[in-house]
Amino acid sequence: MVGIIDSKICNIESICNLIRKLGFPYKIVDSQEKFDGINRLILPGVGAFARAMENLEQHKLLDGILAHAAAGKPMLGICLGMQLLFESSEEFGHSKGLGLIPGNVIKIKTDMVLPHMGWNDLKITQEIPLLKDLPQDSDVYFVHSFRADTDSQYIAATAQYGETVPAVVFNGNVMGTQFHPEKSLKWGEKIMTNFFNM
Known catalytic residues are: 79, 180, 182
Phi, psi of 118 (to 5 degrees): 125, -165
Helices 62-70 and 49-58 cross at an angle (nearest 10°) of 90
Contact 125, 146 (CB under 8 A): no
Q: CA 44, CA 41: separation in Å to the nearest integer?
A: 10
